[in-house]
Amino acid sequence: MTEIVVIGSANPSKLQAVQMGFNSVFPERDFIFLTAEVSSGVSSQPMDSQETLIGARNRAYNAREVLPQADYWVGLEGGLSTLNSGEGSLAAYSWIYIVGKKNAGFARSASYILPEKIAGLIRQGIEQGEADDIVFGRENSKQASGGVGLLTKDLITRAELYAMAVKLALIPFIQQELYLPVEGNK
């Protein structure tokens, strides 16, 4: 039986991350991956972990509203946090939120520190993807390897960074007996 996974974004790197995560965790299953452009309900550049998590959760549930016949709905939201390390460094990461028919799971990706050249543009009100493009002379990099790809020279792409968090967010689906069903997911 083929299962349907809906990603609450049309971003190709987010789609790739979800495909990588689901296919790695459940190699014996067949999936159809669909995208739905839905609202995160948060600012276009979330500036703390809680807002980013809420954005990912909203995307997952909004995707379920759009395509309720699916088996899984996934929200991915990239965010930034200011670290109180004395320098006011900005850490970039994402939250992944996965809703199933009976339960849900969520996880945060690893984070990385933005160089001041990019962080300064963000503090002026520019979204990270646009700031990355300005500094690296690119166009729409967040649809490709993302800021992490640009900074690591594609040693780690946005899809790879997010795929690990997708796998972690799938833990409640791997270990269902250890996790309680989520209300409203029946």
Q: Which tens digit of pLDDT belongs to each residue from 62-108?
A: 999 999 999 999 999 999 999 876 567 999 999 999 999 999 999 99
Domain 2-82+92-111+157-178 coded CATH 3.90.950.10:
yes
Q: Worst-scoring range by mean pLDDT, 40-44, 144-148, 166-170?
A: 144-148
- pLDDT computed for residue 185 by the predictor: 58
* Burial label, 151 (beta-carbon count in 10 A; 0-12, 13-18, 19+): buried
**What is the pTM (predicted TM-score) of this model?**
0.92
- pLDDT computed for residue 67 by the predictor: 97
Helix (H) or strand (E) holding 155: none
Strands 72-82 and 104-108: unpaired
Distance CA 118, CA 93 (A): 15
- Per-residue pLDDT tens for 2-14? 999 999 999 999 9
Per the CB < 8 A criterion, the answer to whether 160 and 92 are in contact is: no
Amino acid residing at 77: E
User: Is residue 122 pLDDT above 60, yes or no?
Assistant: yes
- pLDDT computed for residue 184 by the predictor: 57
- pLDDT computed for residue 105 by the predictor: 97
Residue where the block lists tokens 């299962």: 3
The answer to whether the Cα torsion of 90, 149, 106, 62 is positive or negative is positive
Instruction: Tally the residues of the chain.
Output: 186
The answer to whether the Cα torsion of 162, 93, 76, 155 is positive or negative is negative
Distance CA 80, CA 114 (A): 9
Q: How confident is the model at residue 186 (pLDDT cuts 50, 70, 90)?
A: very low
Residue extents of the structural domains in the chain: 2-82+92-111+157-178
Distance CA 52, CA 43 (A): 9
